[in-house]
């Protein structure tokens, strides 16, 4: 296993941006290896660093891995690809359980009166969530899971009989992700404001497009400036909406845990008003896209 670890570390160190003349199969490791190294480093950091930023960075790195595996889905075994993407989602969720408390605490502090009353209980709940997150990530053995996933996918691609030009491949995959985003924007623009799932789908599709553009921008044909501008708007507007919705849900799900810690009804009322305001803002953006 140590030998495999050194091999992957060397892959990451030697990885150079793939050129337009490369094949998609041969270019995979140049994209995947650095992401695997980053995710492992962030997972290790979470064991020592309990800050919101360390958990956020781990979750982002795992989401980026999931998006990359989605991009290469047509070239990989379908069942194994689905399993790996589910694994990245599982690990990101483990980190996210603590991160969600961080977001709730940050939002609640905007109302000093409410925050003063329930902040101690929120911090206590956050501490318990952190213990669970760390235990889950430790038991999962993130380092070896990610290394094995990279080794397996690289081997499969390197032994493939056919070769697909990298530029052709990434143009097709980015176009597919952009079509998916447009479809979800259209669906959400006709949905009722109570249908948060439709708005959430726009946010997830936007993240995928953004990650793919970050991965492949140097070899993509054509300009994607208009899409990037749209993505920045979506990320900001829909990200703040998601924070509110997730925090309101988290608070509602833990009312028993927070009983007697202060005016939780006031906190819920503030979150509810914020949700409605940000839903209106998100709907307004959709009409402009």
Written as tens digits, the pLDDT of the chain (289 aa) is: 444 445 555 554 444 556 657 899 999 999 999 999 999 999 999 988 888 888 899 999 999 999 999 999 999 999 999 999 999 999 999 999 999 999 999 998 887 777 777 888 889 999 999 999 999 999 999 999 999 999 999 999 999 988 999 999 999 999 999 999 999 999 999 988 788 999 999 999 999 999 999 999 999 998 888 888 889 889 999 999 999 999 999 999 988 877 766 678 888 888 999 999 999 999 999 888 7
Q: How many C-beta neighbours within 10 Å does residue 146 have?
A: 27
CB 209 within 8 A of CB 177: yes
pLDDT at position 3: 46
pLDDT at position 9: 52
Please determine, looking at this structure, whether the domain spanning 2-288 carries the CATH number 1.40.20.10.
yes
Q: What is the pTM of this model?
A: 0.88
pLDDT at position 69: 98
pLDDT at position 262: 63
Q: Render pLDDT for 83-132 as a digit per residue (tens, 0 to 9).
A: 999 999 999 999 999 999 999 999 988 877 777 778 888 899 999 999 99
């Amino acid at each position: 296993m140590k030998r495999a670890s050194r091999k992957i570390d060397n892959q990451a160190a030697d990885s150079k941006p793939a050129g337009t003349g490369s094949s998609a199969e041969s270019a995979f490791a140049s994209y995947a290896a650095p992401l695997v190294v980053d995710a492992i480093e962030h997972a290790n950091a979470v064991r020592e660093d309990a800050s919101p930023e360390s958990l956020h960075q781990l979750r982002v790195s795992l989401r980026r891995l999931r998006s990359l595996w989605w991009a290469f889905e047509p070239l990989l075994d379908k069942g194994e690809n689905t399993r790996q993407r589910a694994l990245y989602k599982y690990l990101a969720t483990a980190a996210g359980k603590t991160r969600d408390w961080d977001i709730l605490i940050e939002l609640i502090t905007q109302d000093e009166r409410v925050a003063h009353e329930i902040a101690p209980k929120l911090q206590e709940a956050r501490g318990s969530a952190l213990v669970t997150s760390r235990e889950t990530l430790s038991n999962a053995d993130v380092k070896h899971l990610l290394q094995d996933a990279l080794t397996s996918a690289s081997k499969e691609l390197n032994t493939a009989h056919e070769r697909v030009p990298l530029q052709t491949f990434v143009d097709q995959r980015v176009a597919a992700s952009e079509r998916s985003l447009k479809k979800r924007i259209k669906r959400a623009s006709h949905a009722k404001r109570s249908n948060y799932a439709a708005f959430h789908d726009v946010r997830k599709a936007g993240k995928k497009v953004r990650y793919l553009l970050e991965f492949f921008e140097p070899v993509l044909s054509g300009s994607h400036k208009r899409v990037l501008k749209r993505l920045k708007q979506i990320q900001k507007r829909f990200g703040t909406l998601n924070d509110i919705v997730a925090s309101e849900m988290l608070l509602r799900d833990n009312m028993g845990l927070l009983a007697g810690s202060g005016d939780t009804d006031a906190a819920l009322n503030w979150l509810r008003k914020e949700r409605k305001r940000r839903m209106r803002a998100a709907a307004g953006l959709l009409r402009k896209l």
